[in-house]
Amino acid sequence: MIWSGFLQVRFIQYAIIPILAILISLVAPETASSRVIIHKKEKFYRVHGKTGAQIYKNILKSGTKAGNYTHAIASTQVNFELKNLKGHLTSRTCKVDNVDIVVSIIYTYPKWVDRRRATPKVRKDWDRFMLYLRKHERHHGQIAINTAKKYERVFKRSRGSVAKNCEDWSRSVERKIEPLIARYHRQQAQYDRREHGRYGRIRRAQIALINGK
């Protein structure tokens, strides 16, 4: 027996909010082979200045935008895509045998182009600033990867009824995905608040850079 259905799932993501339309075909049983596939890419925008204050002022002028909503020193853009979603029917149940969750992550950072003109102190402050900035954005990426693994488990563990033409499978997935979406969004926002707070690493690194001469 072959069953196909059309499922729309809204994934609210850090920086990007797409709607995924997923075509699901359930055919003969296959060996389970679910994967979380990760693609990472880095982009840069140029900043100028000799002193830390000049550099930071130029960052604020030239910085990136996270999802076209918030001006940012750096950003992590994430896109989740479902591929190879396959499953099979028993006499009563619809279930998934395979699903690949593709996580595409784009990190955007500032690139300082006046390093040779600056003092050793400013260079050191910049290197420290970039170290913490990269750690910060990569943690955003790791939150996305961890969430993708949870998405994969939801698809694999959800079941539908043949008597209902497997339509309840789609509804079951959506009910389970919704709290994961909300938790993902909270985790990203809470992490930003910690890091940019008064005693956060990013905050301290920013102040050290601004004071560098």
Residue 192 tokens, joined:
């930003």
pTM for the full predicted model: 0.80
pLDDT in tens, 126-166: 999 999 999 999 999 999 999 999 999 998 888 888 888 77
Distance CA 166, CA 6 (A): 11
Distance of CA 25 to the CA centre of its chain: 27
Domain boundaries, position 70: 3-210
Between the alpha carbon of residue 150 and those of residues 24, 80, 177, the distances in Å are: 19, 12, 9
pLDDT in tens, 27-39: 444 455 668 999 9
Q: Work out how many domains the chain is built from and give that number.
A: 1
Mean pLDDT score across all residues of the chain: 79
Which H/E stretch holds residue 183?
Answer: helix 167-196
Closest to 5 in 3D by CA, of 166, 173, 154, 157: 166
Contact indicator for 169, 5 with CB cutoff of 8 Å: yes
